[in-house]
Amino acid sequence: MSLPRKKKTAGDAPKPRTISRMAAVQALYQMDLAGTDAGEVIEQFTALPPEPGEGDTAPESEVETLTSLEGGDATFFADVVKGVVRRQREIDPLVDQQLRTGWRLVRVDSILRAILRGGVFELLERSDVPARVTINEYINIAKAFFEEDEPKVVNGVLDRIAHKVRAKEFEAPGEGG
């Protein structure tokens, strides 16, 4: 099962890691809803894409479906998916602490939950990616799926977690010794 993403305009090709993050969110969503195993979903996304015309239907709306990792970074994609699974017992409480009082991650929309989990994993484990880049990427993914307040939720939750787990990246020059 795959989810929508916004159509690209000519000359606006997303970067491989952007594609990988979008695919990882969709894979996490699929795993959450269908109970699909991480290895199986990684294999589905990294398999060769279908030939043009094989099962394709033209999208009727402004979104299209991401069905493979074509153009993405397969290693980065698998790292995010496997990492979320491996560290989920640590990730979920971190997110829970940042949600409004009375809200738990299990009550959040499945897609939003996948976005938050992917972003938090990167903040925790992918120090090669600046925290601000991670936050911005996952806000943009949220915007691809939601038109209401969800991108703001992603921004707030990931920003607060980033300030805790990557505090040095947010210090002003000369602070913190």
Pick left, alpha or beta for residue 55 (phi over 0 → left; psi -120 to 50 → alpha; otherwise beta).
Answer: left
8 A C-beta contact, residue 124 and residue 86: no
Class of domain 14-52+60-166: mainly alpha
pLDDT in tens, 76-125: 999 999 999 999 999 999 998 888 766 666 678 899 999 999 999 999 99
> Does residue 65 or residue 128 have the better pLDDT?
128
3-state secondary structure of 99: coil
- pTM score, whole prediction: 0.81
Extract the runs of DSSP E, i.e. beta strands, from 40-177. 63-65
Determine the pLDDT at residue 109.
86
Give residue limits of the domains in the chain: 14-52+60-166
pLDDT in tens, 61-88: 333 445 568 888 999 999 999 999 999 9
Residue of 130, 139, 39 lying closest to 81 (CA atoms):
39
Of the ranges 10-14, 50-54, 145-149, 161-165, the best mean pLDDT one = 161-165
